[in-house]
Amino acid sequence: MSRRRIPIAVLIAGAAIGLIAGASGEADPPNPATSDLITITMENCQAKRPGTLRNDTSALKMIFSGIAKEELVKRGAVEIDGRKYTFYLPKANAYPIRNDHKSDSSLDNSSTLISVDQGGSGELTMEDGWFANLPIRLGDKMYDVVEIAADGARIVLKPSPSPLRGVIVGRRCPPFSFKTNDGKQITLESLSGKAVILDIWSIT
């Protein structure tokens, strides 16, 4: 089988056309793996949030939870759908985004606890804490934490396929369903148009 020879002049011309096309200003198509990423630049700040006494399930925790203070040293903001959300990171030697424990409860979760000021009030409560291994709600959308820089200088988010979760004052209630004692199925949709008070509690 004979090999087809291509003149050198043709190869040079082809390379020149490639260079011209590259210089024409046409951008490469966006990479779907990175085009949806949101990077939040974090800077040093002075702020405090209500804290908890980790790994203490005694009555002392119930008494002092919300009284103890934990210093926050990093702050950054992002605007989504015309609304600003301010993120805070605590003082830490590392910022893991994975939970090494079996439970995601606030007592066991070992991932970074990120505080998000949802309403722009500048005041943080216990409900403003979101663990990095779980989706974070911003408005009526969920986002996964892709990365937290080792020095806390940035947080990277991406849209999450997770269903809406987390109750935030003034925002849409996440879907829910449960059965009453008589076996009736109650859902958010079934209560549409009605005034509803949900009293959710448990004994552990």
* Global pTM value: 0.65
The 8-class DSSP code of residue 35 comes to: T
pLDDT of the residue at 63: 41
Per-residue pLDDT of 27-75, as tens digits, reads 555 555 567 999 999 999 877 666 544 444 444 333 444 444 557 789 9
Stretch 179-193: mean pLDDT? 82
Band of residue 204 on the pLDDT scale cut at 50, 70, 90: low
Per-residue pLDDT of 122-157, as tens digits, reads 777 777 889 999 999 998 899 999 999 999 999 999
Q: Are strands 83-90 and 113-117 parallel, antiparallel or unpaired?
A: antiparallel
Per-residue pLDDT of 102-114, as tens digits, reads 888 888 899 999 9
Q: Is 178 exposed, middle or buried (0-12, 13-18, 19+ CB in 10 A)?
A: exposed
